[in-house]
Amino acid sequence: MRYTGRTLGLFTFMILLFVGIGYLIGGFFMGNWILGTLIFLIIAAVMNLVAYFYSGKLILKMYKARIIEEADNPRLYNIVKKIAMDADIPMPKVAIVPTQMPNAFATGRNKEHAVVAATQGLLALLNDEELKGVIAHEVAHVKNRDMMIMSVAATLAVAIGFMARMVWFQMFFSRRRINPILLVVMILAPIAAIMIKLAISRKREYFADEEGAKISKNPGALADALESLHYQNKKNPIKGGSPATSSLFIVNPFASGSFVKLFSTHPPMEERVKRLRKMATDYSYL
């Protein structure tokens, strides 16, 4: 509940920020704040619908993920089947990504259309208990509708950035006197939207770690897997793909310097592992 409450609070702030910018744009450029707000709410709604229905297919295509059946990889397929059963969700589709970079992600618009994907490198690196922990983390994302939550958050952030760019364009070509309040808002709003999106992503990662550990009943194995994946991905980051999709993966697969870490979609690995190690000494989740 604490993660859900914080996520709802962050979403509320982001939506209010979005509506506030629509209000300012409508009043400054259109002379009608209601019209400005409605226009940008419609834009956000359309972007969310597109993301909701098509983002999963685009992600699978981007990483060349192949949907498999049990005969293709009985080990992975049966682990996903068992974890999904323990989590009380419909069996998701299973996919393998043809890369030696060890990682995993979940995608799809809801529980009935979910896909859990693992890379070839992940299957080669982890033992069965560690693999169960990773799959349980991804199934937790499916169970808690995190793909939809992150799609909406990302769409709102993109829409706010689009609004800001439009205002800059209008200010550049308009002969009207620049409103200093609107100018400050247009500078800070996209940064605030990105930070809120990242905060939501980090909260959901902690939640998926905790929920995944409960589903697999082995937080220590998930902690071991995360440490291995963090080391391997840091040593050999993925080539190709888009950094915009980094929040989907269980660990960030892209190269990151100290500045990029400030805007990371994932919480610090040390803290994630610390929380799981603490769970391992507390059997109340069993």
Active-site positions? Answer: 138
- Phi, psi dihedral angles at 76 (to 5 degrees): -65, -45
Reported in sequence order, the residue ranges of the chain that DSSP labels E, i.e. its strands, are: 66-68, 93-97, 104-107, 115-119
User: Which sign, positive or negative, has the C-alpha torsion 236, 262, 135, 129?
Assistant: positive
Q: Using CA atoms, how far apart are residues 45 and 152, in angstroms rounded to an integer?
A: 9
User: Which sign, positive or negative, has the C-alpha torsion 248, 250, 251, 253?
Assistant: negative
Torsion angle defined by CA atoms of residues 154, 270, 257 and 102, in that order, rounded to the nearest 10 degrees: -70
Number of Cβ within 10 Å of residue 217's Cβ equals 14
Total H helices, total E strands in the chain: 10, 4
Nearest alpha-carbon partner for 96 in 117, 76, 79: 117
Residue 189 C-alpha from the chain's centroid? 20
Q: Using CA atoms, how far apart are residues 153 and 49, in angstroms rounded to an integer?
A: 13
Contact 223, 277 (CB under 8 A): yes
Amino acid 22 reads G
Cβ neighbours for 169, distance < 8 A, ≥ 6 positions apart: none
Q: Using CA atoms, how far apart are residues 8 and 62, in angstroms rounded to an integer?
A: 30
∠ CA 138-139-140, nearest 5°, is 90
